[in-house]
Structure 1
Amino acid sequence: MKRREFLQKVGVGSLLGLGMPFFARAQARPVKIATLLPLTGPFAFAGNAGREGFVDGVEYVNEVQGGIAGRRLELIVEDTGYDVAKGTAAFNRVLSRERPDELLFVYGDSTGLSKALAPEIARLALPYSATSFASELADPKTYPTIFVFGPTYNDMMEALLRQIRLEKARARIALVYSNTEFGRDPIPYAKERAKALGMEVVHEEVTPPAFTDATPIALNLRRANPDFVILQGYALSAEPLILRAAREQGLRAKFMGTYYSAELALIQRAGPAAEGFTVTYHNAYWYDTLVPIVDEMRKFRQRKGRDLSYRPTYYMGSLGVVLAVAEALRRAAGAGKLTRAGLVEYLEKLEDYNGLGLQRSYRFVNHRLPYTKLYRANVAKGRFDAITDWLTLA
């Protein structure tokens, strides 16, 4: 068979002028996503668990789902140390060396880094997300390519305040939060919304993101005598200390937290003091074995010879981002739009996808997923049990 006839038979005759070598190279080019994570520093435990979720997700996409329209999905990982300057340098390093037609998505490590990068992300029209659920980022008019893969911190506060209202309509509330972007983000909303719901914020406690003695905090809370205490901005760096100190001081208040407190390590570290701690959480837990994606990833890791023990929330969140981005990339490729702009377009059309049960839905509302459940710590079982069905916060 002549070369021209062969090319026509396989459906690429129109590309004859480009030549077979060029065509083969073009097909072989990967689709790349980059993740900037704290693999060292105070939140290294979270960053490395997140990295594992990205690795498993990318390998699953390539080996089980066939990649992205025949192209391999490639993961780029950079360490940020949970430092904005180091994270910004990593971002610039990745953007300077990668081709814009190959690097189609970047994932950052924090609220602080995301806010620092947001203007440049907008200028580059680069699809982006992060560990952050900052309300400011869920603004498609200002940041049309940034997506928040979950409810914002404001949404999470709304869910907690609704639950408080159900339990005690005129509740007294204390807000304890870190002096970080992460900690401060939803506090204005929580104060305003609590007032609108007829509740009183009787105490605010602003702390470093990590410390070794929570006794002064517990003493301040005992004097304020709240019915409920909401913790924000710690990611397990302080919650167990606060819960244990509160128990030692005899506080009767009920404690609550948002997504990054919704981890089994909190129960393990706080012990009996964690009983009843209520959290917002919007992914499946690794022990939710009836959820299809959990069963699927257990089987996948088993085939790989990898540890099947509990995978933390940071793993599940990262896995959810990879699967959703890959699905949007496949749909964009099917429409002939495998570009940054195409990824944004098809992320905005992902409402019929739920990551095999990992999320309620990937239907973005103002570029965030306003869905969560409330869970409560069960110390005897060593797990968080759901106390609500899915709540829609928009």
Structure 2
Amino acid sequence: MKRTTISFMLIIALGFSLAALRITEPALAADVVIGNILPLSGPVAPIGKVGREIREMTVEEINAAGGIKSMGGAKLKMIYADSRGDPKVAMTEAERLITKDKVACITGAYQSAVTYPSTEVAERYKVPYLVPVSVRDAITERGFKYTFRVAAKASWYARDQINFIKAIQERTGLVAKKLAFVYENTDWGTSTAEGWRPLAKEAGFEVVLDEPYPANAPDLTPVVLKIKRAKPDFILFVSYIADATLLMNTIAEHEVDVMGMISSGGGHSDPQFIPNTGKNSLYHFDACEWEADLNRPGLKETNAKFKERYGYNISPEAANVYASMYVLADALERAGSADPEKLREALAKTDYTKGPGMIVPYEKISFDKSGQNPQAQLVVVQIRQMPDGSIERCTIYPWAVGRAGYEPIYPIPSWKWRKASGRAE
């Protein structure tokens, strides 16, 4: 009986000891929930797909590296909302992410017309909204305190496109005098065109065509015929992937000869643009914020990882997303909290200069009082055929960062020559 009593007391003591261990055991850090608004269906869905892929890869890297260490190793948890490219849907989804999912921050939404109103929702609820790529100037010109943009503004695209046309003329001595503006008619296209007009006038160019069009148009032949009749020397584009494809292939079909064509990223930098247009895309210039051949630490390895996983290079827009996710992780680390107000304060003090996210072509990411990253800058690529027959985007401008061995081809060859030499579809 005595032995039984002692054994019973030992069991009870052991139970209390285990309970004490459980009580003193540190709790697992709660996930930091991040909302992401993307066009996952509709005509711009291919870009939304890439945006989701790069977010998933980046967050896996951040979580595998220990998560947010100042928060006990908290992991980032991504929740996605499909904007369908509709501003009203995006506003509803932003409110749902904030009120139901209790997100610490929202990222998105690629399309300026979608980002502009959805950031208003975040501002009203005082939740940070990190914008990797939407370019409408007004997004960061409303006095908002919770909106932060990594990408360049639309007016900076316009500035750098006009500067490139002037620079290539100076480099070659071949002068373009007449410009055509061809752009999709939502916020992105119209805000870029607003930047082109005064810059073109100031530089002494004649604008022979100023043509907005609906991005979801099933046929852009009328637009292309207007371009052909106007006889510009240089065409400037703002397009999504479906309309960029239609325009390029229809321009080839109607043999619209110009000295050069330059676009504004978007559809022309989408991974599907070259497969969709083949050799018709050759010699096209594209102003964008990034390219896979830039000489940046870790860029080749990051791009190779993405390409092995998804089958294509990181796009310029995706590069901004990659950098933005690391900027967000850096801000959370400094905030030590997922509280939206503390996170906003940390984002406002961002001074990100080193780390995996710095694959972009500038030396720092920070935000001015408006929430704009003033360091954002562009490069210009030209689509070229390689010695092995493959087609690649080659950085050529600024001249100091261009790919070694590749000078710009300007004026671009005529369609008659291209078709005769097998350099058109």
TM-score range, shorter chain: 0.7 to 0.9
What percent identity do the matched residue pairs reach?
Answer: 19
Tell me the residue number matched to 2:217. 211
CA contact (8 A) 2:154 2:195 kept: no
CA contact (8 A) 1:51 1:318 kept: no
Match of 1:171 among 174, 177, 183: 177
CA 137–72 in structure 1, closer or farther in 2 if over 3 Å, else same: same
TM-score, structure 1 normalization = 0.82
CA contact (8 A) 1:68 1:326 kept: no
Larger Rg over CA atoms: 2
* 2:248 maps to 1:243: yes
Tell me the residue number matched to 1:10. none
Match of 2:393 among 376, 380, 384: 384
Tell me the residue number matched to 2:411. none
Tell me the residue number matched to 1:276. 283
Match of 1:266 among 255, 263, 273: 273
* 2:341 maps to 1:341: yes
CA 225–376 in structure 1, closer or farther in 2 if over 3 Å, else same: same
**Aligned partners of 1:328, 1:384: CA distance in 2, in Å?**
33
Give the AA of the match of 1:138: T
**CA RMSD after TM alignment:** 2.9
What's the CA shift string for 1:249-281, capped at 9, x where partnerless?
Answer: 332221111121223422222223222211122
1:91 is paired with a residue whose SS is helix
What's the CA shift string for 1:11-67, capped at 9, x where partnerless?
Answer: xxxxxxxxx969945x52221211011211111111112111111111111112433
Give the AA of the match of 1:191: R
CA 256–350 in structure 1, closer or farther in 2 if over 3 Å, else same: same
What are the residue-to-residue correspondences of 1:43-58 with 2, within 5 Å?
43-58=44-59
Give the AA of the match of 1:242: L
2:152 is paired with a residue whose SS is coil
1:243 is paired with a residue whose SS is helix
2:85 is paired with a residue whose SS is coil
Give the AA of the match of 2:136: A
What's the CA shift string for 1:105-159, capped at 9, x where partnerless?
Answer: 44324212222233332233321134411111123x6122212221111111111
CA 371–354 in structure 1, closer or farther in 2 if over 3 Å, else same: farther
**Aligned partners of 2:279, 2:304: CA distance in 1, in Å?**
30
2:351 is paired with a residue whose SS is coil
CA contact (8 A) 1:28 1:71 kept: yes
2:188 is paired with a residue whose SS is helix
Deviation at residue 72 of structure 1 after TM alignment: 1.3
CA 197–341 in structure 1, closer or farther in 2 if over 3 Å, else same: farther
What are the residue-to-residue correspondences of 1:1-394 with 2, within 5 Å?
24-25=26-27, 28-69=29-70, 70-99=73-102, 103-130=104-131, 131-139=133-141, 142-168=143-169, 171-232=177-238, 234-253=239-258, 254-260=260-266, 261-285=268-292, 291-296=297-302, 298=304, 306-307=309-310, 309-333=312-336, 339-347=339-347, 348-353=349-354, 355-359=356-360, 360=362, 361-365=364-368, 366=370, 367-368=372-373, 369-380=375-386, 381-389=390-398
**Aligned partners of 2:330, 2:352: CA distance in 1, in Å?**
11
CA 182–21 in structure 1, closer or farther in 2 if over 3 Å, else same: farther
CA contact (8 A) 1:275 1:377 kept: yes
CA 183–341 in structure 1, closer or farther in 2 if over 3 Å, else same: same
CA 191–354 in structure 1, closer or farther in 2 if over 3 Å, else same: farther
Give the AA of the match of 1:47: G
Which runs of 5 or more residues in structure 1 are unaligned?
1-19
CA contact (8 A) 1:258 1:279 kept: yes
CA contact (8 A) 1:280 1:373 kept: yes
CA 159–21 in structure 1, closer or farther in 2 if over 3 Å, else same: farther
Deviates more, 1:166-175 or 1:255-264: 166-175
CA 322–284 in structure 1, closer or farther in 2 if over 3 Å, else same: farther
Deviation at residue 341 of structure 1 after TM alignment: 3.5
TM-score, structure 2 normalization = 0.76
